[in-house]
Amino acid sequence: MSPELKSLLQEMPIFGGISEDALVFLLERVLIRHIPTGQCLFHEGDDATSMFVLERGRVAIRKRWGEEEHLLKYLEQGACFGEMALLDMHPRSASVSAVEDCILIELSRGILLELYEHDLEQFTLIQMNIGREISRRLRLADNQLFSARFGRLSEEISGNDENR
């Protein structure tokens, strides 16, 4: 395993605290995917069986609303996405396409099952880390939703307080 890749993974919340042995075990089994600019990696609604780590490049995350697709965000080197697929059995919740040529590390449920059989403690730690990352993202989404729904009202209320 290259020192750069090891460092990249260890800095990610999902792999935080994972032993070098477990990282090597996983990296010996993952798929390395090369995705050219403009290619869609997956579409919202597709079957979901793996997550991805963006080793190089940039991707766009898009979600449908009616007949239109809307940009949610861009992700760059070191980001991960698709991790919900490792916990639930639901289809993809968004579409992902390459904005630049990308190198992706694909970690499937099957590979995690192999880790479970090899080292239960490290498997459990990754599962807990994924849960924490999803929880962190849910908190951010809740705050964005709250701000979008009540932000103006909150500003009006706090503005009224200042005038008293």
Give me the domains of the chain, ranges plus CATH numbers.
Answer: 3-162 (2.60.120.10)
Average pLDDT, the chain: 89
- Provide the whole-model pTM: 0.83
Per-residue pLDDT at 55 exceeds 70? yes
Q: What is the reported pLDDT for 123?
A: 96
Per-residue pLDDT at 164 exceeds 70? no
Q: Would you tell me how many other CB atoms lie within 10 Å of the CB of residue 95?
A: 20
Say if CB 105 and CB 4 are below 8 A apart: no
* Alpha-carbon span 80 to 60, nearest angstrom: 12
Q: What is the reported pLDDT for 89?
A: 85
Please compute, for residue 93, the number of CA atoms within 13 A of its CA located in the half-sphere on the CB side: 10
